[in-house]
Structure formats: structure tokens, C-alpha cells
Amino acid sequence: MRITLLSLVAVVAATTMAACTVKKVETPPLAGPSSLARTIIMLADRDTLIQDGVQEAAIRLTAAVQPGQSENVRLRAQVTVDGVAQDFGTLSNKNPITPTTIFYRAPAAPTTAGGQVPTTVTIMVTPDDQGDFRSEFTRQLDIRLIPPGVILPTNPNLVASFTFLPTAPQVMNVVSFNAGGSTNGGTACNTACTYSWDFGDGTTANGQAVTHQFRTVGNFLVRLTVTDNRGAQATAVQPVAVQPGTPPTAVFTTSPATPGVNQAIFFNASGSTPAAGRTIVKYDWTFGDGNSATGVIAVHRYEAAGVYQVQLTTTDDAGSIGRSAPTTLTVGTPAGPTPTADLQVSPASPKPGATVSFNASGSRPGSGANIVEYTFNWGDGSPEEVVTNPLQTHVYVGAGTFTATVTVRDSLGRTAAAQRTVVVAP
């Protein structure tokens, strides 16, 4: 509760002469320059309001010429901010007559962040019952307006500024940021301020001088926020264009150079090289037959003869990609001895329903390979059997002459066949 009490008391001097007797009249105490002894009292029920356009302060106005003797005095009421009269908020009555109560309502909250600071308004009343208020003394009281929400201090003299090198960085380059150009009142802020960075890629840092690596290509808005020792802040924003890095080279060798079908082929990418300061972290292969592999060394077999386009893709730790030119690889049947097939049957003339043994273990692979598959055809219309065991049996149900065949395939895809006649008689 705030009370403002100002008294204006006139100086009255009276001299009474009666015959030769002079009576002295005491002069009342001085309280103001007015011609009347007058007391104006302003009493507010609160001295702080939330600046929300709703809260009000009730201001009781009374006037008296003598203690306990009320007087009706016409007043002129107004609102000032920093000594300037203005309609900042609302007064319920600008021409009140005492005794009365007027209300001051706070204005709406500021709409900009820069306005989020407390404001003090002064409610002033001046007697206006003599027809001229210019010679009257003004009575006043202050009301503090507090904006709702967070109140941030401001400092118009705080300036955020920064530089960075290199100015045209590539992906994963170490970029140095320096906020040493930030000032407060024209003087370098240095350790008197704190510095917060937002690099625009989801990462942040703190400090006057920091480093950062951008991991992807793109344009990033880097924001520096400088905070002084009172909590006031200033920001600076600059775009940083991050360019692709120098891609790694991608080269490889194959062994053997002229492979055969189903032959193991070794692909070696160890001759690939990254850009300076980078490391190759991934090797991807495509073999041209719908198959692929990863790794610095890969092994692949082609199931059919033909001409295939092999390509290697390398990726470094900055995400830069290098690709080899498509390399032609011819796959065919290798030269050299081919496999041989051998088939033995026991008994050669079985009876119907008897078990017949077939032995293809005498078969031999071609040069540089081994037999990986045996295909038995019994010659009686029953299904073929593809197996890896050269020893098999079969039962012929009816009498007749049948041609049994075994086909062997070696690890290089080469094949050979052998046949035997089986006579089944009762």
C-alpha cells in the first residue's frame, strides 16, 4: 500500500489593533505556497501490477483544510512514464472530485521480446478548482508494471560477432569459430561474457573459441549467443556452406585374371586410397550377375560363362564416395584336363526287385579342381538323383534292359558322364 501526503498551508498573518492594544496572532506551520491550508491524500491499494490488461489499482483521493474536515476539491488526473504524460494504461476518471476512488488499469502485455522489462508509471493529480492548475503543486505516486512471463534484461550495447576458418569448409574439415569480436559498450567482452554456439546441424558448443566438424554437405546457419554478466543477450548468425570432400580412389585387382565357371575369384581393393586426412571405411562390390559383397577383399563364383561388369565403390569417414570404372571380366571354361567319369554296376544282370549297387568313385576331376556333384539317371523312368556320394543303390521293379548314367561335375563347373547297361531278367 502506498500513501502520498502533501500539505499546503497558507501563511496567515493578522494584526488587530484596538485602541493602544496590539494582539499577536501565531502563524500556522508552513506546508506549501498555496493561499489555502489544504491537504491532498493519495492512497493506492497496491504499488505493483502484472501488465496483463486486467489488473487494477484502486487509488483513494481525499482533501482536507483542517484535520478531520473533508473538502470537495476538483482534481486533474493523468498518467506519465519517464516524465512524459501519455495514455499508458487506463484511468477510470481523469477529473475526479474528492473524496473519491479512481482506478488505474494496467495496459496489455508487450508483444515483442524487447519489451519484456518492468515499467514504472506515475499517477499525478493536480488541484483544478481555482480555474488554473498551472500554479498548483502536483501530488503523485508510482506504480510498477511487471510483464507476465520471463523477464529478460536488455543491453543495447552488447554486440555478438564471430569469424570462422576455413571460410569454405569441406565435409569433416575442422572449422575454427572465434567470437573474440563480440563487444560490450564498444569494448571486447572476452571473459566478461559467456558464449553459446548452435551449428545448425543439431550440435552445440560453449566457449569463446571452439571447433566443429560438419559431417554432411549443405548450408548451415551458425548462431552465436553472447550473454553478459547481467544476463542480457545478443546474437549473431552466419551461413556456412559445407562442400563435398575429395572422394577416395577405387581400384581393384582380380585373381585369376581368366576365371572359369564356379571358380573362386578373389577381388582385392587394397590399392584404393583416401583423400588426405581421411580413411576408407567401406568397400562395396557389384559383380554384374545380380550379386554383391562388401569388404576390402571379396570372393565370388560365377555360375555361368559370360562377360560381366564388376564395379567397386569406396566410402570414406567423411561420407565422400569414390567409384571405379566398370571393369569387364570374362568367365569361361578353363583350359587343361577335363574330369572323367567311371561307373561300376553290381550285379550287372539282377532279377526284378533286387537291389543293384552303383559305384562312381572311380571318376576323376579335371585339373585344379575336385568333384562336387554326382547325378544318377537309372534309365527306367524314375527320377534322377543328384548327390555328393558316389556310392548309390537302386531297385528295378520289372524286367528289361536299362541304360544307367552318372554325370560328374567338378568345382570348376566341368562335367563328364559314364554309362552302363543293366539287364533285368526273371
Extents of the domains making up the chain: 2-146, 158-242, 253-331, 344-424
Classify domain 158-242 at the CATH class level. mainly beta
pLDDT-derived band of residue 414, with 50, 70 and 90 as boundaries?
Answer: confident
**Site of grid cell 476512488:** 101
The answer on pLDDT for 20 being more than 90 is no
For 324-373, the pLDDT digits (tens) are 999 999 888 655 678 899 999 999 999 999 999 999 999 998 877 889 99
Span 169-178, mean pLDDT? 94
The answer on pLDDT for 163 being more than 90 is yes
Span 294-298, mean pLDDT? 96
Of residues 181 and 9, more confidence is placed in: 181
Q: Model-level pTM?
A: 0.40
Q: What pLDDT is attached to residue 3?
A: 45
Percent of the chain exceeding pLDDT 90 equals 60
The answer on pLDDT for 185 being more than 60 is yes
Percent of the chain exceeding pLDDT 70 equals 85
CATH number of 2-146: 2.60.40.10, 1.10.287.80, 3.40.30.10, 3.40.50.12640? 2.60.40.10
253-331 CATH fold:
Immunoglobulin-like (2.60.40)
Architecture of domain 344-424 in CATH?
Answer: Sandwich (2.60)
Tell me if 253-331 shares its fold with 344-424: yes
